[in-house]
Amino acid sequence: MRTRPTILFFSPDGCPVPALVRQWAAAHAFPLLVFNQQDEVESIVLRGHPCLLFVDGDNSGTIGMGLVSRLKSDAFTAIVPITTLAGTHHPEQVQAWFTAGADEVLTGLFSPAEQRSRMDAMLVRTERDVSVHPSTRLPGTTEIEREIRRRLESNQEFAVCYADLDHFKEFNDRYSYYDGDRVIYILSRILHDVVKGLLGSRGFVGHIGGDDFIFIIPATEISPVCSEILEVFDSLIPLQYNDQDRRAGYFFGKDRRGQLHRVPLMTLSIGIVTNRHRRFAHPAQVSELATEMKSYAKTLPGSVFVVDRRQGVTGEERSGPTSRER
């Protein structure tokens, strides 16, 4: 379950929260906390609590701008959306507030209805921005869980496919993190373009993090989609190596004990679980079994996808065959 954001209102002079903000927070059932000390605001934001910050622009002046600037200069706290309430007294300071880093500035020039609409739009932008992975712009873990839950409630057959790179760490060690990031981005494009190209809105692609991806497709489309992904992957990934490594099909790397060994070119392992032969009560059960299937796929040579065909309720039962396909 996601934690509902808390509204933080900052006014160093202790001014009351405007009625419009109180009503908006109440309409969304958001908790509302009022502060007149900037260090208290910074403390709660630094604890990682999901929140929306409103700053009294009429009375906070340079203190408020300094707080906004500090929060936006730190990558961890910069994600917190900040709205300045400039009221009607200082509309000329709008540019200064935006320069300090405010995400939205509301003034008396806007009607109450437009101010509410702007706050609603800010909330939508915030939820969208934090739900995607920054490097690939694909939906992150929150959206992945939501999509699995939606599929479970639809009573339709679906497949959750967990894709993971093999020998990625060794590639990073030999080349660079920049080259590794490029490979992850290429993989994200392959997954997205194949799934969306073949299935359109029937397919979903998400990024867990690092080289781990989830895509969700109709169970009937496993073979054509996964076969196409592996074919494209095996065509493009060798091009990310230098000529010598690509021609050899491997390079020499060191294991944890410092011993040299052959490291093959990267391959892709996809572990797949469906609701065709079992029932799931929660997305976590689907995720756990998909992780198990991905781990099994990684023990097999080359780029493969493996489909779990065991029957059971939650994945605890081990009877039934598991299919491996290329």
Binned at pLDDT 50, 70 and 90, residue 90 comes out as low
Instruction: Judge if 63 and 85 occupy the same domain.
Output: yes
Q: Determine the Cα–Cα distance for residues 32 and 325; give it in Å rounded to an integer.
A: 54
Instruction: Judge if 291 and 212 occupy the same domain.
Output: yes
Tell me the per-residue pLDDT of 247-281, one tens digit each, with 9 for 90 and over: 999 999 877 777 888 999 999 999 999 999 888 98
Instruction: Judge if 185 and 103 occupy the same domain.
Output: no
Instruction: Judge if 161 and 242 occupy the same domain.
Output: yes
Mean pLDDT check: name the lowest of 106-115, 133-142, 170-179, 240-249. Answer: 133-142
Instruction: Judge if 301 and 197 occupy the same domain.
Output: yes
What single letter denotes the amino acid at residue 257? R
Number of domains in the chain: 2
Using a pLDDT cut of 70, give the percent of the chain over it: 89
Instruction: Judge if 122 and 145 occupy the same domain.
Output: no
The CATH number that applies at residue 177 is 3.30.70.270
CA angle 175, 138, 75 (to 5 degrees): 75
Answer yes or no: is 135 within a domain: no
Q: Output the pLDDT for position 48.
A: 63
Q: Determine the Cα–Cα distance for residues 267 and 225; give it in Å rounded to an integer.
A: 17
Instruction: Judge if 242 and 319 occupy the same domain.
Output: yes
- Residue 121: half-sphere exposure toward Cβ, Cα within 13 Å: 10
Binned at pLDDT 50, 70 and 90, residue 318 comes out as very low
Of 82, 101, 130, which residue constitutes the final position of a domain? 130
Q: Structural domain of residue 101, as residue ranges?
A: 6-130
Q: Output the pLDDT for position 259.
A: 80
Tell me the per-residue pLDDT of 185-224, one tens digit each, with 9 for 90 and over: 999 999 999 999 999 989 999 999 999 999 999 999 999 9
Cβ–Cβ under 8 Å, residues 163 and 269 = yes
Structure tokens at 191: 């997954």
Q: CA distances (Å), 29 to each of 18, 103, 124, 292, in order?
A: 17, 22, 16, 39
Q: Determine the Cα–Cα distance for residues 287 and 292; give it in Å rounded to an integer.
A: 9
Read off the pTM: 0.69
Instruction: Judge if 11 and 39 occupy the same domain.
Output: yes
Q: Determine the Cα–Cα distance for residues 156 and 314; give it in Å rounded to an integer.
A: 17
Cβ–Cβ under 8 Å, residues 183 and 171 = yes
